[in-house]
Amino acid sequence: MASSDETRLLVSPSHCSSYAAAAAGTAFGDPRPSCSHGAPLMSPHSFHMMSKTACISPQVSDCDTQTKKENIRSLTMCGHVGFESLPDQLVDRSIQQGFCFNILCVGETGIGKSTLINTLFNTSFEEHESSHFCPNVRLKAQTYELQESNVRLKLTVVYTVGFGDQINKEESYQPIVDYIDGQFDAYLQEELKIKRSLFSYHDSRIHVCLYFIAPTGHSLRTLDLLTMKSLDSKVNIIPLIAKADTISKTELQKFKVKLMSELVCNGVQIYQFPTDDETTAKINASMNVSPPASPTPMNIMENENHCDFVKLREMLICTNMEDLREQTHARHYELYRRCKLEEMGFSDMSPENKPLSLQETYEAKRHEFYGERQRKEEEMKQMFVQRVKEKEAILKEAERELQAKFEHLKRAHQEERMRLEEKRRILEEETVAFAKKKATSEIFQSQSFMASSATVRKEKDRKNFNYM
């Protein structure tokens, strides 16, 4: 008989033995009994694991504890399996998919945002100069497709328009925050859908925010501080000192130091470049940038001694693009997601401290919505029925009126007809009477004529007689 529906998952605990850090060179398990020649078991290609009980790198700490729970042991392979091509497979897939990178540039009008981006990517995106008279801060986003050898990059650059131009700057940073949240929200919506397609979703979340600081030489402005403070938990911020060639080098240094200390002292989190295995480990992310006036002095600009621009490009693109994306996804997005879901009323723990699944709250809400929808449907049905009744009544009324009119007309018509009949009869009688009269009068006339003619003859005869 086949087993019941429940599956029993047996992790074979009886087999495994976590071995101590002693045997560095021995193969695991029984020595092969059937190896007929006495050659050593290690062939030149064998790889040996340094015996550890926790086998996964310490960075992934969650996996660590799980490793211990599952009693995972390390294996010694006596041969070349060939999975070192795995990163290549991964890379191939990524090449096919293409990459996506979104930059947000925050800074005053005219500070050199678009010029910097142009230079960073060694191209010239079409940009018009913006005006200084915008009533409020807007964001302008544009997407470009770049390709370098076989790597496709979908670059989206978002500029702030009118930042710092208003007289009252209180609401300056809100549109920016709203925009970033909006992108996170769009991604969250896609992720929560039932039928979703995350692999072909165009990720529009901002990966890095380049914050342009005006080179006043003094200290951080309040607006800048406030904006950075409100953005630091949502996005990776890299502050830049723009137009650095307008102040002298020593002032620049002092300014940098001052800025960093202010940022630290106000608790603003800026993006820390990962330092573990970088060839150029840089923690301080504040660099100065000198944008060129026109494309030609670019080669001058790229001189390392002249400015930190090359370093910026290297940091941003060559070394850390992937890390920026990962931070955005793993830290900022997760934070947003957590806050948003908690806001919507979901939680991981129910009031009795039992683990509550998203499923249950979701189901509860769904039930609610379902009930709500039913109710609304009922309401609408009722309304519909009522409307139909009313309409029907109106129509009936109209019909009745029409009927009455018709009757009335019919009656009038009949009366008319009768009257006309009457008239005709009278007319006919008159005609008959007239005809009779005519007849009698004709007879009378003929009679009188004959009588008169007879009289005339008589007269004549008498006359004739008299003559005789």
Name residues contacting another protein, limited to 53-72 (CB under 8 A): 55-57, 59-60, 62-63, 66-67, 70, 72
The angle that helices 174-192 and 334-343 make with each other, rounded to 10 degrees, is 80
Measured between alpha carbons, how far is 192 from 336 in angstroms, rounded to an integer? 14
Task: Assess 432 for contact with another protein (CB under 8 A).
Answer: no
Which is closer to another protein, CB of 5 or CB of 129?
Answer: 5
Among 23, 25, 68, 122, binds another protein (CB under 8 A): 122
DSSP letter assigned to residue 248: -
Instruction: Using the rule CB under 8 A, give the single segment among 104-112, 115-123, 264-272, 457-465 that binds another protein.
Output: 115-123
Task: Assess 12 for contact with another protein (CB under 8 A).
Answer: yes
Mapping DSSP onto H, E and C, the string for 195-243 reads CCCHHHCCCCCCCEEEEEECCCCCCCCHHHHHHHHHHCCCCCEEEEECC
CB 254 within 8 A of CB 267: no
To another protein, the closest distance from the beta carbon of 81 in angstroms equals 5
The encoded tokens of residue 255 equal: 């300014």
Among 330, 398, 409, 426, binds another protein (CB under 8 A): 330
Among 77, 380, 388, 393, binds another protein (CB under 8 A): 77
Among 18, 26, 28, 262, binds another protein (CB under 8 A): 28
To another protein, the closest distance from the beta carbon of 271 in angstroms equals 15
Task: Assess 467 for contact with another protein (CB under 8 A).
Answer: no
Task: Assess 29 for contact with another protein (CB under 8 A).
Answer: yes
DSSP letter assigned to residue 321: H
Nearest to 55 by CA among 80, 26, 97, 21: 21
To another protein, the closest distance from the beta carbon of 243 in angstroms equals 22
Among 20, 83, 129, 351, binds another protein (CB under 8 A): 83
C-alpha to C-alpha distances, 16 to 68, 70, 71, 79, 251, nearest whole angstrom: 12, 10, 7, 22, 65
* Window 370-409: contact mask with another protein (x via CB under 8 A): x---------------------------------------
CB atoms under 10 Å from CB of 384, counted, come to 10
Mapping DSSP onto H, E and C, the string for 103-160 reads EEEECCCCCCHHHHHHHHCCCCCCCCCCCCCCCCCEEEEEEEEEEECCEEEEEEEEEE
To another protein, the closest distance from the beta carbon of 293 in angstroms equals 16
Among 23, 32, 373, 432, binds another protein (CB under 8 A): 32
Instruction: Using the rule CB under 8 A, give the single segment among 152-160, 162-170, 377-385, 438-446 that binds another protein.
Output: 152-160
Give start and end residues of each alpha helix (H) in 232-328.
249-265, 298-301, 309-313, 321-327
Measured between alpha carbons, how far is 371 from 364 in angstroms, rounded to an integer? 11
Q: Burial code of 241-256, b = ≥16 C-beta within 10 A, e = fewer?
A: bbbbbebeeeebeebb
Among 22, 36, 129, 265, binds another protein (CB under 8 A): 36
Instruction: Using the rule CB under 8 A, give the single segment among 28-36, 173-181, 223-231, 242-250 that binds another protein.
Output: 28-36
Among 196, 387, 436, 438, binds another protein (CB under 8 A): 196
Task: Assess 323 for contact with another protein (CB under 8 A).
Answer: yes
CB 234 within 8 A of CB 185: no
Among 107, 109, 114, 121, binds another protein (CB under 8 A): 121
Which is closer to another protein, CB of 338 or CB of 424?
Answer: 338
The encoded tokens of residue 387 equal: 């409307």
Task: Assess 321 for contact with another protein (CB under 8 A).
Answer: yes
Among 140, 152, 254, 258, binds another protein (CB under 8 A): 152
Among 20, 24, 93, 283, binds another protein (CB under 8 A): 93
Instruction: Using the rule CB under 8 A, give the single segment among 161-169, 260-268, 334-342, 371-379 that binds another protein.
Output: 334-342
Instruction: Using the rule CB under 8 A, give the single segment among 89-97, 103-111, 378-386, 455-463 that binds another protein.
Output: 89-97
Measured between alpha carbons, how far is 324 from 319 in angstroms, rounded to an integer? 10
Task: Assess 294 for contact with another protein (CB under 8 A).
Answer: no
DSSP letter assigned to residue 287: E
Nearest to 346 by CA among 266, 290, 337: 337
* Window 337-376: contact mask with another protein (x via CB under 8 A): xx--xx---xxx-----xxxxxxx-xx--xx--x------
